[in-house]
Structure 1
Amino acid sequence: MGVDEMLQAGVEGVVSALHHLPTGDVWSAEEIARRQREIATRADGSASGLAWEVVESLPVTEDIKKQTGDWRAHIENYKLSLANLAAAGIETICYNFMPVLDWTRTDLAYRVGHGGTAMRFDLHDFAAFDIHILERPGAAESFPEGVAEIAGERFAKMSGERREQLAKNIVFGLPGTAEHFTLDDVRAHLAEYDGMPTETLRGHLVDFLAEVAPEAERLGLRMCCHPDDPPFSLLGLPRIMSTEEDYRAVMEAVDVPANGITLCSGSLGARPENDLPGIMERLGDRVHFLHLRNVTRDTEAVPCSFYEDEHLRGSTDMVALIAAVLREERKREQAGRANVSIPFRPDHGQDILDDLTRKVQPGYPAIGRLKGLAELRGVLAALSHPEHGL
């Protein structure tokens, strides 16, 4: 979506990143300024009035996650990037600490009831990939009882084209990055994490934050960690940001305000124990960024299959979550905090209408997200009404 389209959509601030830069490189003042100029300018050269307000994301290298190779140099580069962002007036920095792959889906165009499409994670299809395509040692035993058997039946019925597409979908990687993995790349990365306990990966995150969060605090920045997506272990890899308890442990380990949370209702919502309105109530003072989207779970088991639903449908009570957000913002206002308003994005959407004929980044259709944004704004307007709201 271009700057002119963002204005037409009613965007108030822009979430962006320097995806073209290799992970681990310093984000220079020049590159940051170039992106700011692009956002500040309409297609006709006039001022847009928009500003780059949230970075999503400033990526963390695999070396930092594993504490191998040049990880210490990468942390120093990260600090320099933070300093350059702060000098440019950008204060909110989203990142994640998921090893190897970021969000993972088995279908990027799953047909839903109204005829549009959405992204889906199907546990049995994923198991078919893990066991029969990737051929990861011990994969069959890592799934709940009965999953491997169904996965084998599914795989046997898949055409060669479907098997190839399934593999491509799963290793698609983070939207916008230049890092798209082959199966051999995935196998090599998995081998580097082989046997790493969850506690070790969490310790590496705490070590990273112990270095960068105090620097972010000094610079007046807010860092916010995105949850695992999906919020359960895949490919034998450890997951450390999947539950409220995970977040609480990391917030307490590096207890500075700059060490915060990206509350993604879609990612966390794929795990039934995650009470999103409750998490907002209990950890809201450290929530620096919101992804407001919804998923519908097939079952209440962990792990489970799910698909990206409409923003006001699905397994998360979005109205209750937004009400909790507004209560937190009122608390901040009463406390005199500078960051009263928590930036949010509608994040993923379903492909509807003209989206279905466009070649767009999976999960990021124009019309589907506009619909979600309109729905979220309607809830916000109702709950914030001076006479009839909360």
Structure 2
Amino acid sequence: MKNRNGFILIALLAGLLMSCNSGTTRSQKTPTLKDAFAGKFHIGTALNEWQITGRDSAGVEVIKNQFQAIVAENCMKSGPIHPRKDEYNFDLPDQFVEFGVANDKFITGHCLIWHSQAPRWFFTDDEGNDVSREVMIERMKEHIYTVVGRYKGKIKGWDVVNEAIMEDGSMRNSKFLQIVGDDFIKLAFQFAHEADPDAELYYNDYNEWFPGKRDAIVQMIRDLKADGIRIDGIGMQGHIGMDSPSLEDYEAAIVAYANEGMKVMVTELDMSILPNRSRDVGADIATSFEYQQSLNPYTEGVPVEKMNEWDERMLDFFRLFLKHSDAVTRVTMWGVSDATSWKNNFPIRGRTDYPLLFDRNYEPKSIVAKLIEEANKAENID
């Protein structure tokens, strides 16, 4: 009886070990994006409020399992985080950062100085007039010191200045430019470095592949360096379409920034599958409806051949990022699921777009397996 019990115990232990090994094998058979791109660049995503608070549990699981880097979609912009002069709203940002720390993610802060989504009080006095240059600089400094200082050692990199340059290379005529002058960029980077000397500091923009804008960003980098101001990287937002930009123009921008010693990040990647607005519409309601329908053709799903076309173009961009992985340090998707992408409402509200890697049910689209395969091929080549 004693021996029989011993045999039973051994059998149970053997079964348990086999079960554990089987579970490990199953886990190994499900490769993830973050594993595939490890050692090449961080693969990341933006988190919205529901994901930060945990209400979007399906989205949270995708973020934990698939992505190595995170950025907040909205809650760290100056309007939401600093709505009034003497009031900060750190509830969501704190939860966002805590999630990133708990799950060992590379956390980026977005963004410190941006003309859009800035609080109205930031630029005016009690009478509604523009504040002086001195007051504006002090407000910038206080805001940056407070926000960056709060997350010192936790947030690894900051989008310090966002979208300050136009496509032709001229400076955007923002309130920052009007009140402070073009050295507001220099001051913002200086204050961010003082607030956290160990954090990486980035300039972030869209259409950053336009030759005029690209050359102006290169000159800005040189000017900052000449003044002894630290800048670590350039964020290429990466809001792309099926026809534009060309891979050649995008690569030229990556190379230009890398040649200045910059880390290059694709910070807000999505790719609209929908046609762009290209002509005006007359007053005929029927014509307008027909026009809107032509700009929103996939309300019931995307034809396989069109989805394959989208996959191949997205693959081409990732091949480009892998080719330049010595310079590209992070590729961040601007959202987790097609269902919550801002592209469903931009530039025309109410459209059904498919710009991200996971579908409306948080299932990986066909592109995910293709990206993992592409990353593994690049590893074998290395």
TM-score of the aligned structures, taking structure 1 as reference length: 0.49
Larger Rg, first or second structure (1 or 2): 2
